[in-house]
Chains A and B, each alone.
Chain A
């Protein structure tokens, strides 16, 4: 291993090409991962912020918040289920908002107004008073400040922003959080066709006492009128989430395979070049596994170098992108998983050289003169 590290230190130029290529691959991998995380974060924040265990839709809504309607009778059934600790209504409407209170303004911000009862993370336990909302912090980049009045929808319904909450975007849009009363009033004014009665909500968020069978018990208690999902399940059911994840993961998978092939080809070439050297080293007492550990060590160091540059670039990019410009997030988890994937690809790539290293004949070190 020391021999391998010395070679890296003394002959860095030999590994430059592989390092540059792996750095570009690491950049691509982390950029793709960051984009996926950014997209998912901007699509799912409102659900991830829920401090609840379940989301209950009406069964005919096919797990869509927009299509779902739950009335007071069904809610009462849900509240009566054993293991249910707390139930809150949730409603949403997607509308353009004009910041600044000018009805004629062409400055339009895409928003989703949520009405809530059970407070998600970072929101007041009691929903803001009628006509006031807490806005997602992402809307600050759109010129929304505390005290700003947003005129929502074609009816220009005013809501005043009283504060901000982090990471609650939904469907790529900044969210606004108010009471169910605010939500009903705004919906009635702008989408009369979607207006609901005072005891109707779109979905219920449910806190349980931890029992595993509660979702099934809820659906049984409502005689099939509901479809209860865990919050994680509800996130996966959001439009486009699983498709985005699957698409990006496939691209990430292909990128990892490319990294594996690059490492495999590079170290296969290096191994061929070193056949004579390996013969001599084996002749003086190096074992095949010792030499292979050296190859793996070099691949791991080159990959770590490439990963460090890639991670540094991803973090810099994350810091440099203005909020709301590109949905990109360089999270520690994503960067770590990218490094691990690259390391696995590097070690797997080296494995293609294993046979060649082990097969080098130490007797080849002695000349063929007789």
Chain B
């Protein structure tokens, strides 16, 4: 854990040109996430949650404002630089957990390293993948493909993949939306344990009350504005 915030967004604005009109998706949003803080991001559909999450994770660049990720201002990074940032500094857990259906659980974790290209690869990717699978209780499922895993196991694999690159920030996109309530609770607990034990920050886009309960803080966004 360090004192440097995992994420600091200052006056972030994101607009889109639609014909002659300008649509404001995010309007002067300020958000700081501590280095091991779990923040739940809630709000109605179309409120700007996805846009905020995308900018925080280097998937989009802001139109205005600054985004500092683990001490580095990524606001004006090129697409290539943002690709590197996503690969090395940010973890993602998507709604659709079936990332690459023909890969085994272990390969799903190692693929993060393989995408780096030969020069940027770390030497211990396999060992780290095994360690993460062990910690997530999936050691005996390492060779299983998604078709051979339950919904909860798939979500755990997705969490393992997000942690593979030892990110400063993990972004969760509705991590429990495809799980029943019991599995959802288990996954929520697991997320908290994993984030807190590693001192890793997390932003979770959610509608699920269980997540807001385990979060350190809940941030509400409406019409592109973060509620005070």
Complex interface: stretch among A2-10, A15-23, A104-112:
A2-10
Which listed residue, A6, A290, A362, A366, touches B173 by the CB 8 Å rule? A366
A contact set with B: CB distance below 8 Å: 2-3, 6-7, 10-11, 276-277, 280-287, 290, 362-363, 365-370
A282→B207 CA distance, assembly (Å): 26
Interface 1/0s, chain B 28-47, versus A by CB < 8 A?
00000000000000011111
Query: Which one of B67-75, B99-107, B148-156, B181-189 is at the interface?
Result: B99-107
Find out whether the CB atom of A366 lies under 8 angstroms from the CB atom of B50.
Answer: yes
Within the complex, the shortest CB–CB distance from B75 to chain A, in Å, comes to: 16
B115–A367 touching, CB < 8 Å: no
Of A3, A363, A370, which contacts B111 at CB under 8 A? A3
Q: Is the CB of A367 within 8 A of B50?
A: yes
Least distance between A269 CB and chain B CB atoms (Å): 17
Indicate if the CB atoms of B54 and A363 lie closer than 8 Å: yes
Residue pairs across A and B with Cβ atoms less than 8 A apart, 25 shown, are: A3-B100, A10-B102, A11-B102, A276-B96, A280-B96, A281-B115, A284-B99, A285-B86, A285-B88, A363-B54, A363-B59, A365-B59, A366-B50, A366-B57, A366-B171, A367-B94, A367-B95, A367-B205, A369-B45, A369-B50, A369-B174, A370-B45, A370-B46, A370-B205, A370-B221
**B204-221: which have CB < 8 Å to A?**
205, 207, 221
Task: Judge whether B50 and A368 touch: CB under 8 Å.
Answer: yes
Do A370 and B87 have beta carbons less than 8 Å apart?
Answer: no
- Nearest A-chain residue to B59, judged by Cβ: A363
- Chain A residues with CB under 8 Å of B111's CB are 2-3
Complex A-B, nearest 3 residue pairs according to Cβ-Cβ distance, in ascending order: A285-B87, A10-B102, A370-B49
The reply to whether B86 and A370 contact each other, CB–CB distance below 8 Å, is no
Nearest B residue to A291, CB-CB: B115
Contacts of A363 in B (CB 8 A): 54, 59-60
User: Which residue on chain B has the smallest CB distance to residue A10?
Assistant: B102
Are B47 and A3 within 8 A (Cβ)?
Answer: no
Nearest-neighbor residue (CB-CB) of A280 within chain B: B99
Measured CB to CB, the closest approach of chain B to A103, in angstroms, equals 75
Chain B residues positioned under 8 Å from A284 (CB to CB): 86-87, 92, 99, 112, 115, 161
- CB neighbours (8 Å) of A367 from chain B are 50, 94-95, 173-174, 205
